[in-house]
Amino acid sequence: MASSNRLARSLLLVLRVALGAVFLYAAWTKLREPWPIFAMAIDAYGVLPERAVMVVARTLPWAELAIGLLLIAGLWRRVATPAASLVLLLFFGLMVRAYAQGKQIDCGCFGLGEAISWRTLLRDGSLLAGSLLLTLVSLRGGRNNA
């Protein structure tokens, strides 16, 4: 029993660090480019007014950076894991919507150059599932989980 519990904790740790690394990479790809480039990707979804697009383009990469660092460090898990899940859920929903509408746009996940496809939906859906699992464990469990 103890070894299976240890294995589960180890797998959750690997998942949390991997998700944190994805968030760090996503932030890095956006922060290395001028923010108006990311704003174009956000605007292509057609759901936010121009002013909100600018705010999201300037702040989301920094939020992703913070979430990634918190996930990797294992700090504030009861904040970091739901924040990661919320970001992934919002963007996954927007990606599904755009894909269903037949929009040929960049997902904006890791900068420009990656059009929304079944592959991006599968990847981001998998990230969302992992993040929701981590959120559930961190909110139910305690300090020893995830």
All residues at 6 or more sequence positions from 128 whose CB lies less than 8 Å from its CB, including other chains: 85, 88, 89, 92
- Residue 142 is predicted with a pLDDT of 56
pTM confidence score: 0.91
Over residues 55-99, the pLDDT tens digits come to 999 999 999 999 999 999 999 999 999 999 999 999 999 999 999
Domain residue spans of the chain: 2-140
- Residue 96 is predicted with a pLDDT of 97
Indicate if the pLDDT at residue 143 is higher than 80.
Answer: no
- Residue 61 is predicted with a pLDDT of 97
All residues at 6 or more sequence positions from 45 whose CB lies less than 8 Å from its CB, including other chains: 94, 97, 98, 103, 105
Average pLDDT, the chain: 93
Residues in the chain: 146
Chain CA centroid to CA 142, Å = 23
The three-state secondary structure class of 109 is strand
> How would DSSP label each residue in 36-50?
HHHHHHHHHT--S-H
Indicate if the pLDDT at residue 144 is higher than 70.
Answer: no
Indicate if the pLDDT at residue 48 is higher than 60.
Answer: yes
**Averaged over 121-131, what is the pLDDT?**
97
